[in-house]
Amino acid sequence: MKKILIASLAALTLAGCNSAATKKESAAATKPVGITGSLMSTEVMHNGQKVTVMRNQDTKNTVNPSFAMTSRPCPPFCIQPIVLAPGVETIGEVEMVGYMEAVSAGDDSILIIDSRTPDWAARGMIPGAVNIPWTKLSTRKGADPISIGEIIVEDFGGEEFDGLWKYGKAKTLVMYCNGMWCGQSPTNIKALLDFGYPADKIKWYRGGMQDWETLGFTTVKP
């Protein structure tokens, strides 16, 4: 009789614990997943369409399989430093959202650039970004100085005068690629610095798509 009573009490205790755990999980699942304590979501423009940028609200959501691999061979997928070059600011997600909002509000002095190849961009990119593959700014990948110069003038707002570069009206470039192990945007940034592009007009989102996807942020197609 004593054994039966103990077993019954144990079963009731276990049931109570399971019930409490279920309630906690249910409560956690209904809590909103914000960007910051004061920002739940924001609307930005992408290809002329409004996009609501927020984090995935499913608290059981897991990372995109494209970014689940932890050990890519180095080289070439070596970890990038926090400070890429003197004067180039490294930013995080909250700062990226701020630049996205500024662009959507009509600030044409900022350009958000997805430096990845088109096949990667097609899997999903940050809303408001334009895809300028890193190969178009890399002489190592066949881009010639003239074509790079054309991008600097036509897309970035630089000016060439008597063989010299002027960047008084150049845009602030916010650049990213696949993450802290990706060398695509770093290669582009270093190439632009070689062309004399002002370091203070280059912002680097080091976390790139790896961190963007890990945090469950909205992505769009090109």
Mean of all residue pLDDT scores within the chain: 90
Identify the band that residue 163 occupies on the pLDDT scale cut at 50, 70 and 90.
confident
The answer on pLDDT for 5 being more than 60 is no
The answer on pLDDT for 84 being more than 70 is yes
Measured in whole angstroms, how far is the alpha carbon of residue 168 from the centre of its chain? 27
Spatial separation of the C-alpha atoms in residues 194 and 123, rounded to whole Å: 31
The answer on pLDDT for 221 being more than 70 is yes
Range 21-45 average pLDDT: 79
The pLDDT > 90 percentage for the chain reads: 82
Identify the band that residue 205 occupies on the pLDDT scale cut at 50, 70 and 90.
very high
CB 174 within 8 A of CB 146: no
Spatial separation of the C-alpha atoms in residues 185 and 128, rounded to whole Å: 17
Q: Please report how many Cα atoms fall inside a 13 Å half-sphere around the Cα of residue 187, on the Cβ side.
A: 23
Instruction: Output the pLDDT for position 47.
Output: 94
Residue 139 tokens, joined: 């002489």
Instruction: Output the pLDDT for position 19.
Output: 55
Alpha helix locations (H) across 79-144? 93-104, 118-121
The answer on pLDDT for 151 being more than 90 is yes
| 167 compared with 22, residue with greater pLDDT | 167
The answer on pLDDT for 109 being more than 90 is yes
Instruction: Output the pLDDT for position 29.
Output: 57
**What's the DSSP call for residue 49?**
E
The answer on pLDDT for 66 being more than 70 is yes
Nearest to 40 by CA among 217, 205, 220: 217
The answer on pLDDT for 13 being more than 50 is no
Nearest to 131 by CA among 114, 110, 107: 114
Range 94-103 average pLDDT: 98
